[in-house]
Amino acid sequence: MTHIQHSVRVTRTPDDVAAVALDWSQDALWRASVRRMTVRPAGRAVTGQQVVEQLSVLGLPLTTPTRIDLATSRSASWSGGSNRLQARGRRTVEDEDGATCLTTEVDVRLRGGLRALTPVLATVYRRTAGRDLRRLRTFLQAEGTATR
pLDDT, tens digit, for every residue of 59-75? 878 899 999 999 999 99
Domain 2-141 sits in which CATH superfamily?
START domain (3.30.530.20)
Enumerate the β-bridge partners of residue 138. none
What's the confidence (pLDDT) of residue 145?
Answer: 53
What sign does the CA torsion over 42, 43, 46, 49 have? positive
Question: In a 10 Å sphere around its CB, with 0-12 CB exposed, 13-18 middle and 19+ buried, how is residue 131 labelled?
Answer: middle
Confidence of residue 85 (pLDDT cuts 50, 70, 90): confident
Q: What is the pTM of this model?
A: 0.90
Q: Where are the domains of the chain?
A: 2-141
Query: What mean pLDDT is predicted for residues 130-143?
Result: 90
Confidence of residue 148 (pLDDT cuts 50, 70, 90): very low
Asked if pLDDT for residue 144 goes beyond 80, the answer is no
**CA 106 – CA 116 distance, rounded (Å):** 19
**CA 8 – CA 96 distance, rounded (Å):** 11
What does R_g of the chain's alpha carbons equal in angstroms?
15
Name the average pLDDT for the chain.
90
Taking the CA atoms of residue 40, residue 46, residue 52 and residue 53 in that order, the dihedral angle to the nearest 10 degrees is 130
